[in-house]
């Protein structure tokens, strides 16, 4: 046995420690709750110099999966972690990787699949991976996450297997629960266990040119799949040996199935992952009463442990399979379907099986729940009759006497009237806005009600207030996933007084363009009153403008009649502040932790330098040649409202308007809530975030800090935020100068565009 040491860590931390201990080469990732802790932990330990893993933030999970696939093709060891719709967004890459036989480890920290959006745990995500050709190990506790990441790597790289592997664990229940765990004291021991990874084919061996991923139709593809199927058989064959070897090194021996008191059990419950332990307590209670009950779970979903499943249930009279998801329409969860199919192949098996769906969307599974299920199973075993084949537990009917209430007065067309006018000057072609006055505008009803759950001092809501003050009449919002949607629509409450749609932040722009065109087409067909005017507004954070950039560009190129409003707080704040592409250069975030071995955002390990500085989204949008682009800041209220009003004019008459605000996040910027308006003011005065608009290709600076003699160096903005403060120290002098230089360059370029209508 090799020496082990105790650590008190949660599941995400254990996945990160395993990757660090194995000295993986690359992690491509995109933050999604609850898996984010893996990349955060690796960032934190990287800052301390505890490992050499290159952490590459993808533009979305699909991009992250691509990074991982590429990195794996280049012959090194790769890790990723994701959950829920992030996994589904990456899904199409998974068969590509298994079909081309490229090992890596993907931690799936299970969470329910949207919609409606729910960030808590169930197994609806991981069941989508059953057909992907990946090995799937299930880790019921933090200890197993560490162990199965290591064991999984060894299986994946076995020369007769060569398949990627998923390690599935329960979101929050396991990922966020700290437990006492054991890890190898010496990394050398893990190295010995794994051996050197030498894939036969890599993309970076130019002296042996190969083609990876050919165009392969019939009759050949079926042969490729037979090879894949055989590789799974091989994995099934080698797994017990690898587990045995691992047990000898660590004292932690694992079987294919996880079982409890199954030697003589007549009534049995099958559950996956963390619920197993809870159910064990219920078994102990019933065993004391002399009841022959037991629990089964599996440590491996793919390859499917058919032999072991058949054996374990051979003498069981009644079995309840509790699934944490349903295959809708099948009236069964996936484990129920698979186990029933498996037992059909055992002619001797007479087990009575029924299925319960439980714990969806993070609903807790208590010992009492397990007790109830086992008691019902006992009844079935004693009576020889199934009471109910399929049911949900834990759902409720609702209050039948509850009457729907009304919190908004009747909304009519002049309900939201801002008394602002926008006219186009026929000679100059400019838009002239009149009637913007902050005092008068207090008269306008708010489109968003108070009572939302944003942090104190949040910048999003002043921004939304100023935006919507500029919009007259009916508005339909689409919010992409982010802080603003989460804090306004926590069921059963909503802060919206106008119609609101949420879609995941890959796809909001495309979705809203669909709404716009359907509305117009139905008007044309006379299904909707031709005189009805609705303004369609998409609201997104900067995170949504990273992962959703593609659909935004598509929407812009199609030039739909709508507004895209971005609140940019320079990070993925809804998940606790991981870096986005607009995070200030070298700023600290939870995935760019500053320490002795890491300098902050943008220092990915690469040839000859750093990534480009904070993303210049308005200029990207300018490249699509949409009619209107504007930047706004809450520090310049009148300018803000005027631009919102112009955006509405453009959306109604000319096409797409894109408006971007820099938005304060006192919590994650580590900046006092009360100072946020002046902090935003400094972003403008320092030209970090200049205020301008581009109308039909003509750029106008709408506020010039130089002319107002208020221009200040970027350090005056950076010193107001804890996450950039380190850049003001003497040792970072050169770095700060390089940032100032880039800001000056962008500002001077903007001035040139302002001076020359053709630029």
Partner 1 sequence: MQKSSIPKKNQFGFYEIRLESIGGLGANVAGKIIAEAGVVGMGFNGSNFASYGSEKKGTPVSSFIRYCDEDQPIRINSPVTEPHLLGVFHENLAARIPITAGVKPDATVVINTDKDPQKAREYLRLAGGKIFTVDAIKIAYEEKVRMNVVMIGAITRAMEFVDKEVMKEAISETFGKKYQKQLEANLRGFEAGYSQVEVMEFDEDGRFPVISFKEVQGDWGYENAPIGGVIVEAGSSILKNNQTSRQGKIPLFHLDRCIHCGMCETTCPDYCFSFVEKEDSKTGKNQMFNEGLDYQFCKGCLRCVDVCPVEALTEELEAEHEIDKITIKL
Residue 497 binds partner 1, judged by CB under 8 A: yes
Q: Which is nearer to partner 1, 613 or 689 (CB)?
A: 689
- Given a contact cutoff of 8 angstroms between Cβ atoms, the answer to whether 415 and 471 are in contact is no
Select from 68, 242, 495, 599 the one that contacts partner 1 (CB under 8 A): 495
Closest separation in Å from C-beta 482 to partner 1: 10
Instruction: Examine residue 288 and tell whether it contacts partner 1 (CB under 8 A).
Output: no
Rg of the chain in Å (alpha carbons): 29
Q: Tell me if 115 contacts partner 1 by CB under 8 A.
A: yes
- For the window 352-371, what string marks contact with partner 1 as x by the rule CB under 8 A? ------------xxxx----
How many Cβ atoms are within 10 Å of 200's Cβ, its own excluded? 10
Angle between helices 637-653 and 460-469 (to 10 degrees): 60
Q: Is 372 in the site for partner 1 (CB under 8 A)?
A: no
Structure tokens at 585: 């250069």
Question: What minimum distance in Å lies between the beta carbon of 72 and partner 1?
Answer: 31
The answer, yes or no, to whether the previous bond of 219 is cis (omega within 30 of 0) is yes
Stretch that binds partner 1, among 75-83, 275-283, 321-329, 527-535 (CB under 8 A): 275-283
CA 298, chain centre distance (Å)? 27
Judged by CB, which is closer to partner 1: 59, or 675? 675
Q: Is 451 in the site for partner 1 (CB under 8 A)?
A: yes
Pairing of strands 691-695, 628-632: antiparallel
User: Rule CB under 8 A: is residue 4 a binding residue for partner 1?
Assistant: no
Q: Which is nearer to partner 1, 455 or 728 (CB)?
A: 455
Give the tokens for residue 569: 């707080």
Neighbours of 434 (CB within 10 A): 12
Binding region for partner 1 (CB under 8 A) out of 167-175, 427-435, 682-690, 709-717: 167-175
**Whole-number Cα distances in Å, 714 to 152, 466, 600, 618, 662:** 48, 25, 17, 20, 15
Q: Which is nearer to partner 1, 366 or 703 (CB)?
A: 366
328 versus 396: smaller Cβ distance to partner 1: 396
Q: Nearest CA to 272 among 124, 429, 146?
A: 124
Quick one: 129 or 273, whose CB is closer to partner 1?
273
Can you tell me which of 483, 510, 626, 651 binds partner 1, judged by CB under 8 A?
A: 483
Secondary structure (H, E, C), 481-545? CCHHHHHHCCCCCCCECCEEEEECCCCHHHHHHHHHHHHHHHHHCCCCCCCCCEEEEEEEECCHH
* Segment contacting partner 1 by CB under 8 A, of 4-12, 75-83, 622-630, 699-707: 4-12
Measured in residues, the chain has a length of 759
Residue 395 binds partner 1 (CB under 8 A): yes
CA 1 to each of CA 147, 154, 727: distance values in angstroms, whole numbers, following the listed order: 15, 18, 47
Cα distance from N-terminal residue to C-terminal residue, the chain: 70
Find the shortest distance in angstroms from Cβ 92 to partner 1.
26
Tokens of 21: 């201990």
Residue among 91, 81, 13, 100 nearest 506 (CA): 91
Q: Which is nearer to partner 1, 6 or 222 (CB)?
A: 6
Judged by beta carbon, residue 445 or residue 757, the one nearer partner 1 is 445
User: Cβ-count burial of 345 within 10 angstroms (0-12 exposed, 13-18 middle, 19+ buried)?
Assistant: exposed
Q: Interface with partner 1 includes 623 (CB under 8 A)?
A: no
Q: Does position 307 bind partner 1 by CB under 8 A?
A: no
Q: Which of 1, 3, 5, 8 binds partner 1 (CB under 8 A)?
A: 8
User: Binding segment for partner 1 among 70-78, 158-166, 272-280, 560-568 (CB under 8 A)?
Assistant: 272-280
CB of 40 to partner 1, least distance (A): 11
Residue 729 Cβ vs partner 1, minimum distance, rounded to whole Å = 15
Please, which residue, 36 or 342, has the CB nearer to partner 1? 36
Residue 453 binds to partner 1 (criterion: CB under 8 A): yes
| Residue 109: both structure tokens together | 């920290």
Sites for partner 1 among residues 679-738 (CB under 8 A) = none
Which residues in 632-661 contact partner 1 (CB under 8 A)? 634, 637
Q: How far is CA 339 from CA 297, 300, 353, 354, in A?
A: 11, 13, 9, 11
Among 198, 344, 400, 707, binds partner 1 (CB under 8 A): 400
Q: How far is the CB of 693 from partner 1 (least distance, A)?
A: 20
Which of the ranges 58-66, 151-159, 178-186, 645-653 carries the binding residues for partner 1, by CB under 8 A?
A: 178-186
Cβ atoms within 10 Å of 340's Cβ, excluding its own:
15
CA distance 17 to 177: 15
**Cβ neighbours for 555, distance < 8 A, ≥ 6 positions apart:** 509, 510, 512, 513, 562, 564, 656
**Which of the 8 DSSP states describes residue 607?**
T
Q: Is 488 in the site for partner 1 (CB under 8 A)?
A: yes
Alpha-carbon distance of 320 to 15, in angstroms, equals 31
- The stretch near partner 1 (CB under 8 A) out of 189-197, 306-314, 447-455, 738-746 is 447-455
Near partner 1 in 561-620, by CB under 8 A: 573-577
Q: Which two structure tokens, joined as six digits, stand for 163?
A: 């398949």
DSSP designation for 177: -
| Residue 119 is a binding residue for partner 1 (CB under 8 A) | yes
Of 53-61, 389-397, 621-629, 684-692, the segment contacting partner 1 by CB under 8 A is: 389-397
Nearest distance from C-beta of residue 503 to partner 1, angstroms: 13
Least separation in angstroms between CB 616 and partner 1: 27
- The reply on whether position 31 binds partner 1 by CB under 8 A is no
User: Which span (301-309, 670-678, 727-735, 743-751) binds partner 1, by CB under 8 A?
Assistant: 670-678
Q: Which two tokens stand for residue 225?
A: 């799949």
> Cβ atoms within 10 A of the Cβ of 417, count?
12
The residue behind tokens 């959703």 is 548
CB 665 within 8 A of CB 459: yes
Which CB, 572 or 613, lies closer to partner 1? 572
Stretch of residues binding partner 1 (CB under 8 A), selected from 165-173, 224-232, 687-695, 749-757: 165-173
Site for partner 1 in 330-349 (CB under 8 A): none
Q: Quick one: which of 131, 413, 612, 678 contacts partner 1 (CB under 8 A)?
A: 678
Q: Which of residues 406-445 bind partner 1 (CB under 8 A)?
A: 406-408, 437-443
Beta carbon of residue 519, minimum distance to partner 1 (angstroms, whole number): 18
Q: Which stretch binds partner 1 (CB under 8 A): 53-61, 91-99, 149-157, 448-456?
A: 448-456
Q: Which residue has the tokens 């219920």?
A: 282
| Integer Cα distance of 153 and 105 in angstroms | 7
Among 46, 158, 452, 642, binds partner 1 (CB under 8 A): 452
- C-beta neighbour count of 336 within 10 angstroms: 26
* Whether the Cβ atoms of residue 717 and residue 676 lie closer than 8 Å to each other: no
Among 211, 217, 399, 425, binds partner 1 (CB under 8 A): 399
Tokens of 598: 């890491």
Three-class SS string for 551-580?
HHHHHHHHCCCCEEEEEECCCECCCCCECC
Nearer to partner 1, 113 or 231 (CB): 113
Least distance to partner 1, CB of residue 373, Å: 15
With contacts defined by CB under 8 A, how many residues of the chain interact with partner 1?
93
Q: How far is the CB of 277 from partner 1 (least distance, A)?
A: 4
């Amino acid at each position: 046995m090799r020496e082990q040491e105790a650590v008190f860590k949660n599941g995400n931390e254990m996945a990160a420690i395993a990757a660090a201990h194995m000295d993986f080469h690359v992690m491509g990732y995109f933050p999604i709750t609850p898996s984010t802790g893996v990349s955060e932990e690796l960032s934190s330990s990287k800052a301390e110099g505890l490992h050499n893993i290159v952490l590459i933030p993808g533009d979305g999970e699909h991009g992250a999966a691509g990074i991982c696939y590429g990195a794996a093709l280049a012959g090194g060891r790769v890790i990723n972690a994701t959950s829920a719709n992030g996994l589904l967004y990456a899904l199409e890459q998974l068969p590509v990787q298994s079909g081309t036989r490229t090992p890596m480890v993907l931690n799936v920290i299970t969470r329910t699949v949207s919609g409606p959006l729910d960030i808590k745990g169930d197994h609806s995500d991981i069941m989508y991976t059953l057909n992907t050709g990946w090995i799937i190990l299930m880790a019921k506790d933090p200890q197993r996450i560490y162990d199965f990441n290591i064991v999984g790597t060894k299986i994946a790289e076995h020369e007769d297997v060569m398949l990627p592997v998923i390690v599935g664990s329960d979101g929050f229940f396991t990922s966020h629960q700290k437990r006492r765990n054991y890890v190898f004291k010496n990394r050398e021991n893990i190295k010995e266990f794994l051996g050197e990874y030498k894939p036969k084919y890599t993309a970076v061996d130019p002296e042996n040119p190969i083609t990876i991923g050919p165009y392969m139709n019939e009759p050949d593809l079926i042969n490729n799949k037979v090879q894949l199927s055989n590789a799974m058989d091989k994995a099934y064959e080698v797994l017990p040996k690898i587990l045995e070897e691992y047990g000898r090194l660590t004292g932690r021996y694992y079987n294919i199935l996880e079982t409890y008191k199954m030697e003589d059990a007549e009534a049995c419950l099958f559950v996956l992952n963390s619920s197993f332990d809870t159910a064990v307590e219920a078994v102990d209670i019933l065993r004391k009463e002399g009841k022959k009950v037991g629990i089964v779970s599996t440590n491996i979903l793919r390859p499917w442990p058919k032999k072991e499943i058949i054996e374990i249930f051979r003498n069981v009279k009644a079995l309840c399979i509790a699934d944490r998801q349903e295959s809708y329409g099948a009236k069964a969860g996936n484990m129920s379907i698979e186990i029933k199919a498996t037992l059909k192949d055992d002619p001797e098996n007479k087990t009575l099986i029924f299925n319960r769906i439980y714990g969806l969307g993070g609903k807790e599974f208590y010992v009492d729940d397990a007790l109830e299920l086992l008691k019902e199973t006992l009844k079935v075993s004693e009576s020889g009759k199934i009471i109910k084949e399929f049911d949900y537990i834990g759902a409720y009917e609702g209050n039948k006497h509850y009457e729907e209430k009304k919190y908004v007065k009747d909304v009519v067309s002049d309900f939201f009237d801002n008394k602002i006018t926008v006219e186009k000057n026929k000679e100059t072609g400019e838009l002239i806005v009149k009637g913007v006055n902050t005092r008068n505008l207090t008269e306008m009803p708010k489109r968003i009600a108070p009572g939302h759950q944003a942090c104190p001092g949040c910048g999003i809501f002043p921004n939304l207030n100023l935006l919507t003050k500029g919009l007259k009449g009916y508005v339909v919002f689409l919010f992409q996933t982010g802080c603003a949607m989460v804090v306004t629509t926590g069921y059963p409450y909503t802060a919206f007084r106008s119609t609101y749609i949420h879609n995941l932040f890959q796809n909001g722009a495309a979705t809203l363009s669909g709404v716009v065109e359907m509305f117009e087409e139905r008007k044309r067909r006379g299904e909707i009153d031709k005189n009805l005017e609705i303004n369609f507004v998409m609201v997104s954070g900067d995170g949504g403008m990273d992962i959703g950039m593609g659909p935004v560009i598509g929407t812009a190129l199609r030039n739909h009649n709508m507004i895209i409003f971005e609140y940019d707080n320079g990070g993925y704040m809804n998940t606790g502040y991981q870096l986005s592409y607009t995070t200030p250069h070298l700023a600290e975030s939870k995935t760019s932790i500053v320490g002795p071995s890491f300098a902050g955002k943008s220092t990915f390990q690469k040839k000859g330098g750093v990534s480009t500085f904070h993303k210049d989204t308005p200029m990207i949008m300018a490249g699509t040649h949409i009619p209107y682009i504007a930047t706004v800041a809450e520090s310049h209220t009148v300018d803000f409202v005027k631009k919102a009003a112009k955006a509405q004019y453009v959306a109604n008459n000319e096409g797409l308007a894109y408006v971007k605000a820099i938005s304060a996040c006192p919590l994650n910027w580590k900046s006092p809530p009360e100072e946020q308006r002046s902090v935003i003011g400094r972003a403008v005065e320092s030209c970090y975030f200049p205020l301008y608009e581009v109308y039909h290709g003509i750029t106008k600076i709408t506020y010039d800090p130089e002319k107002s003699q208020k221009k200040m160096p970027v350090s005056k903005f950076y010193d107001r935020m804890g996450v950039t403060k380190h850049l003001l120290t003497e040792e970072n002098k050169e770095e700060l100068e390089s940032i100032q230089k880039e800001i000056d360059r962008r500002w001077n370029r903007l001035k040139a565009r302002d001076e020359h209508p053709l630029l």
